[in-house]
Structures are given as C-alpha cells and as structure tokens.
Amino acid sequence: MYKSIIKGIGHYVPERVVTNADLEKLMDTSDAWIIERTGIRERRYFDHTKDTTANMASRAAIMAMERAGVESKDIDFIVFATITPDYMFPGSGVLMQRELGMLGIGALDIRNACSGFVYGLSIADQYIKSGMYKNILVIGSEIQSSGLEHNDEGRNVAVIFGDGAGAAVVQRAENTDRGILSTHLHADGTFAEELYVKDPGSSRADRYGEAMQGPGTKPYMNGNLVFKHAVVRFSEVIQEALEANQMDKEQIKLLVPHQANLRISQFIEQKMKLREGVVYNNIQKFGNTTAASIPIALSEAWEKGQVKENDIICLAAFGSGFTWASALIRW
C-alpha cells in the first residue's frame, strides 16, 4: 500500500505588519487587552495592489515545491482550502493553477475554514493511497483583513485575524514507515451560526442586493461558546489520533494546532499535561490566518529545525462549522 509523505512545506505572508498599536487608532482597544485575550501582538495584512488569495498561495506553493525537489509539471492535483476566495466562483484553486502553469490537472476547492488544511491533507492522503496521484499540492490561503470591521462594533473579531498562505507537497512513497499515519475529520452543524458570515447567501431572494448592505456580510463569532467547544474538541481529536496509532502523548515531538487563540493552545497544553516546547505557536506575530495557519506554522517550525525526519508531528484544528480534525505524521 502506498504511503503519503509531506515532501515539502512552504508559506507566504504579506509584507504589511499591523500591530496592536495600529488597531488602537481605529477602535477602542489596547495592546494589553488584545494580548490578554488572544496572545496576538501583530498580524499581516495583504497589499491590495499585488496580493490575492491565489497568488499568495502560488508563492507558498513555489517554496514548498522547491523544498520538495519537484516542479510544477510534477504536480498531479491541487486541493485548495480557503473561505476567502478571490471570486464568488470559480474557486481560487484554478487561479493558482493558471499562475503556476499547471493547466489540465484537477483542482478541488474546499471550504472547511480553520480545519481546511487538515481536511485537505486527508483528501490528498486518500488519493495518494489509492494510487490515483503521485504529487498533490495542498493549500491553505486566506485574506481576512478586507472583510473585518475595524471599529468598536467589530473589534472582538477584527483584532484576531490576519492574512497569509501555506502549502504542502504530499507525495507518494513506498516501503517506508514515514508519512501520514492517520487523519480524523469531524463536524457538528448544530453550531453553524455561532461562527459565520451570513451573506451573500443563495437562499436570499436578492443575494447581491439589500443583503450585501446589511450586517450579515460581516463575520460573527460567539467567542465564549467557540472557546468552550474548541478546548474540548482539540483534546479529543488529538487523543483520537494517538489511540488510532497506539501511541501516547510523550511520543509527540511537535503539536501544531490551528492558531486560533494563544489561550486555547495554552489550555490544551495544560489540560493534556504536554511537555514544555511541544506545542508550536506563532499566532503572536501572524494572528489567526484560518486555513493557512497550520501550514504557515509547520513551515516556520521546519525552517527552525524543529521538524526532523522520523519525528512524530500532530496537527489539530477546530473552527467554523463547527469542524475539527487532526493528522498524525511520522515526518
């Protein structure tokens, strides 16, 4: 049976750094308030003159391919995770495909928000194991800043999110113990409206008319409820991955969670009694980049030498849907 290995990982973040002090000028907030509640000190915002969801993904993909030692012509398929596509349709996967000259191969767009990259990794893993493809690009790319309310009314959401992209080359391998050991995907639509953007929705009679002028176009988040569910689901899905592979938490070399809130990561670390340094966090400087957060963090950790061959790496995510997911990898 074929195995799926992450052959290369890459990321891209826009040049523009937006600090908490910058946000203090736009809304009634403070550096201390933001750090206390989220752990975030700064985030990146896209440059509307040159950055798009697709071309940020292209930059991340080029880095991942270079590190994997493959070229555009070697890629068989694309899985593109985003909730902030460049167009209502088509998806950003074909736009990135066009930019990288990968014309003709399939491009699948998925909308699983913060869990999108892990969902995408699972999809790629199944295609690889089936023998259908050899090299798959899995992308997470988001531009959140253009949809935020930078005022007092929207501050609870606006201080959290940033922009960026991450990419992985998932490659077929044989006769190896390395690779993606298992993935675990879950959802509960009961809570769909607790973290969502309502409009434009096709069920409105005139989705591009009055609805687009209303509050439904702005992100809504029931922060307390999201936090309570996140800390439970994160722990569950990490433990599920360990049990599926008959491992224990001491074997995890690095846990890379979705960068939702530093308090959530710290809570998980304490609840699961993980060793110091096991949980990787970079939300402090990039904010929550939704589907891009895990590949950005994983790429950065790899650059720092914190991801080495045969290390057990756990990825875990929770977000809108509600959806949650994990992947256990022997690097």
> So which residues are the catalytic ones?
114, 258, 288
Per-residue tokens: 244: 């599926």
